[in-house]
Amino acid sequence: MRRFSVPAAAALGIAALALTGCQTATTEPAASAAADAPITIATIPISEDPTQGNPIEALAELLEAETGRTVEVTDVPDYLSVVEAIRADHVDIGIMSGFPSALAVNTGEVDALLAWKGSDDPVSTCVVLDGSPVQQLTDLRGKTVAFADQASSSGYFMPVYMLHEAGLEQGTDYEAIFAGGHEGSFAALEQGQVDAACTSIMLTEMGAPMFPFAEGEWRGIGESPAMEVMGTVLARQSLDDATRAQLEEALPRVFAAENAEALGGYGTFAGLEVEIAPKPAAFASFADIAAVAGVELKDLS
């Protein structure tokens, strides 16, 4: 496995362009990959506790074992940068949650290689410290709430919708800050910079190192609805047919239930039902929830 990072300044430029459907990529489409060419992946930061296995390395190693090809990982700072890296043919694939996948597919310039179907379980909650006076969602009126990323399903879209359903509107009833990721949200809460951190219920269940609070140190306030699509592997449209078919076969094996622990944060998708090459209509259910956050998903049929 080889690993690279996008410089911060470059990443900001990428994110600014990421989801503009009317724009075209500024680079020429990548040439079809040879059968033994590296498979390239863009990823956002996942916890790298030195006492734990690195989930990005585990993902790459599992994919290399399944395909017999080298895997190159490019680290980018957020979901939007992942989308732009794929859209601009800089990488082959990226692994995304439901909402950024819907936004990306909506541009018409990124393909959904496969999707992990959701369950009936709630996706998100808002975490408060155990000594907090906040007992229910309406107690967050006038408070400051941390969200992970403006394109995060469990760390933004779903909890914003949950708060909306409780009668609280962003910018009017509570102040929102974006911490750059789930870990940043937890750090802001731990340091007393915010009153609550909204995140994935699954992360709270995973515990350390993905979730830093021990039992008795925190409480979950509220539960969001479920999602029909939990996550997606997005691919560049110029990806050659042989690599596309190889990934469609290999990725479900990489994300088998028995690999969940090794995959860490990526393990949230392990063992879920897979749909190969989902149509844009598969993401239509996200439209109403996205609109609450001020994002319009059009042409999803």
- The tens digit of pLDDT for each residue in 4-40 reads 655 443 444 433 433 444 444 444 434 444 667 999 9
**Structural domain of 94:** 2-117+228-284
- Residues 46, 108, single domain; the answer is yes
250 CB contacts (<8 Å, ≥6 apart)? 63, 66, 67
CB atoms within 10 A of CB 219: 17
Domain count, the chain: 2
CATH number of 113's domain: 3.40.190.10
In this structure, is residue 190 part of a structural domain? yes
Q: Give pLDDT tens digits for 157-188.
A: 999 999 999 999 999 999 999 998 999 999 99
DSSP run (H or E) holding 116: strand 110-117
Tell which residue, 28, 23, 52, 55, has the closest CA to residue 41: 55
Angle at Cα 275 formed by Cα 73 and Cα 206, nearest 5°?
60
pTM above 0.85, yes or no: no
In this structure, is residue 51 part of a structural domain? yes
What is the full per-residue pLDDT of the chain (301 aa) written as tens digits?
A: 676 655 443 444 433 433 444 444 444 434 444 667 999 999 986 654 444 457 889 999 999 999 999 999 999 988 889 999 999 999 999 999 888 888 888 888 999 999 999 888 999 999 999 999 999 999 999 999 999 988 888 999 999 999 999 999 999 999 999 998 999 999 999 999 999 999 999 899 988 888 999 999 999 999 999 999 999 999 999 999 999 999 999 999 999 999 998 998 888 899 999 999 999 888 888 888 888 888 776 544 4
